[in-house]
Structure 1
């Protein structure tokens, strides 16, 4: 049997009055680049995957999620510290992102968003071609490694 702690109720009451984080909470996240894509991992514990909403408007990526708790009728709560809350995070993607290829998964309380780099933004080699008649050099893009030019 749990012992009654009057200070716990006082702490919870004070947190309710003085909590300045009204509205959506920020979700902690990590972001890194792995080859030709960025990977965003965000902690969303206790979230129903169906409540996660990810959208892209231009270059703005918005992630929203909501944690809801079931209300059980006929039960006597001993303590209830988990809150119903919403989460929000917005990121400016900048240029060079393939917004059509963004994908997301949710596993073990972690949302993972994969953001591919667009083909235009990927590093590429420029092949130099020598014009034999006037010694003029022309450059054009190539998806292959440049070949040596023999004179």
Structure 2
């Protein structure tokens, strides 16, 4: 088996062990974009049990929580352990023009997808322009 030595990964590993990151919530990588009249949030949560994912909206605060339980093997000597376990947390402040009652989500292949609709009043719309009525020419 060949291994590639990455000094930055080793430095990150050592810094992580010094800071003991296991106790703090992990961030989850995500993408967020607008597609027409809704926003789409995709968060990477590979290896997470879907039953441990919790999605809350409190006012304008969207909170995503998830838990990955460690796969501990007793009596083994770990050579590399890069897959973090523990709590994952992400919070986003939603704008006032979001329909928080209609937010939906699904989890598939390790990706949590959240559909965040925009309120009807905030959607782009055409505004008609009124013209003045034709004036009859006044003859003197």
- Same-fold call, TM > 0.5? yes
Q: Counterparts of 2:113 and 2:61 in 1: how far apart (Å)?
A: 17
Q: Tell me the secondary structure at the aligned position of residue 17 of structure 1.
A: helix
Which 5+ residue runs of structure 1 have no aligned equivalent?
Answer: 1-10, 135-151
Partner of 1:96: 97
Q: Counterparts of 1:21 and 1:51 in 2: how far apart (Å)?
A: 18
TM-score (norm 2): 0.73
> In terms of mean alpha carbon deviation, does 121-130 or 82-91 score higher?
121-130
Q: 1:76-110 CA deviation, whole Å, 9 max, x = no partner?
A: 32427244311111101112111111111111111
Question: Is residue 77 of structure 1 aligned with residue 59 of structure 2?
Answer: no
Higher relative contact order (CA 8 A, sep 6+): 2
Change beyond 3 A, Cα 1:83–1:128: closer
List aligned pairs for 1:1-151, cutoff 5 A: 15-19=16-20, 22-70=23-71, 76-79=75-78, 81=81, 82-129=83-130
> In terms of mean alpha carbon deviation, does 121-130 or 107-116 score higher?
121-130
Superposed displacement of residue 128, structure 1: 3.9
Partner of 2:9: none
- The structure whose residues are more often strand, as a share, is 1
Q: Tell me the secondary structure at the aligned position of residue 61 of structure 1.
A: strand
Q: Tell me the secondary structure at the aligned position of residue 126 of structure 1.
A: coil
Which 5+ residue runs of structure 2 have no aligned equivalent?
Answer: 1-11, 136-140
Change beyond 3 A, Cα 1:59–1:67: same
